[in-house]
Amino acid sequence: MDADEVAEELYALPPEQFTAARNARAKEANAAGDKAAAARIAALRKPTVLAWLVNLLVRELPDEIGAFLDLGEALREATATLSGPELRELSGQRHRLVQALVRQARELARQAGYRLTEDVARGLEETLAAALTDPAVAEQLRAGRLTSGLTATGFPTPSPSSVRAHPPLLPSRAVRSQKQTTPDALPAQPSAAERRRQQAMVRLQRDLLEAERRTEKAEQAQAVTAEAFEESQRALAEAEMAVADLRAELEHAVQTRDQAKRDSERAQAADAKAAVEAERSGRRVTELLARIEAL
């Protein structure tokens, strides 16, 4: 049994299926008499949800991950040479790519029946950022067999010891097939000043990532408040139109009332005048009747 092929198969499974599948495959290898393969398979560590999600990105989006890691190499070169304009441009690309990969990871997780929590999202951002700043992290990420999130502690250091995470027990074929570095070819150790500069750069990169994350959240919150403001403006405009309509109706009602009042006053005056005329006519009739009776 090819333990490497089994590892590729296992690290493509969702975390909840990993342990049972690993034990079954180790049992098969043991039953086939391949004790070495059985031991290697049984030693494989179950990935966290974060690690599984990173591995899923590597498998499902190889072109995007390749472009992302290529950007990391360019970013490290620009940082090493302190090329300000190029570094700013690459940093902008880095932010856009990290956020795009996180969005794609959310969708992949959703399709697989997982909800990407904020903690996992932050861990994903940190792992992706570490792959940009540390080539050793980049190679572990590229292998697609992470068991936990990664964090770079140096900037940049080619040694896997700069990664605060256990590397996969079975590296991928791509990593194993790379030319091994001999002790004579190892780079000279950086000076204390250079190490301090590298560590300061790492802190600045992490601070930048955190600032970008906060900026994005603030922009998202601002978009929500802007939409709420627009909605309130529409509601205000509708209310003002309604008030204007009511004022117009009120003005019309006042005019109608005033006209009715004038008509009532005219009718009252006419009625009073008619009453006077009726009284005068009545007295005249009484007077004429009295004169007729006197004849």
- Note whether residue 152 is domain-resident: yes
Partners of 152 in the β-ladder? 163
Exposure of 269 in the CB half-sphere (CA atoms within 13 A): 6
Rounded distance, CA 91 to CA 71, Å? 9
Q: How far is CA 73 from CA 86, 156, 205, in A?
A: 13, 10, 15
Roughly how many angstroms between the first and final C-alpha of the chain, as a whole number? 154
- Note whether residue 1 is domain-resident: no
Question: Does 231 or 3 have the greater pLDDT score?
Answer: 3
Give the mean pLDDT of the chain: 77
- Note whether residue 254 is domain-resident: no
Q: Which residue range forms the structural domain that includes residue 153? A: 9-18+45-174+190-232
Q: What is the pLDDT of residue 21?
A: 94
Query: Which parts of 135-176 are beta strand (E)?
Result: none
Rounded distance, CA 79 to CA 271, Å? 103
Q: Structural domain tally of the chain?
A: 1
- The pLDDT of 198-217, averaged and rounded, is 65
Looking at this protein, which amino acid is placed at residue 127? T
Banded pLDDT at 67 (limits 50, 70, 90): confident
- Note whether residue 63 is domain-resident: yes
Rounded distance, CA 243 to CA 238, Å? 9
> Which residue bears the tokens 């006042």?
254
- Note whether residue 112 is domain-resident: yes
- Note whether residue 117 is domain-resident: yes
Rounded distance, CA 287 to CA 202, Å? 125
CB 25 within 8 A of CB 41: yes
Q: What is the pLDDT of residue 183?
A: 40
Condensed to tens digits (0 to 9), the pLDDT of residues 111-164 reads: 988 888 888 888 998 898 888 888 888 888 988 999 998 876 543 333 333 333
Q: Whole-model pTM? A: 0.52
Q: What is the pLDDT of residue 255?
A: 87
- Note whether residue 61 is domain-resident: yes
Condensed to tens digits (0 to 9), the pLDDT of residues 181-197 reads: 434 443 455 677 766 66
- Note whether residue 281 is domain-resident: no
Rounded distance, CA 79 to CA 88, Å? 10
- For 41, the token pair is 């398979």
- For 43, the token pair is 């030693």
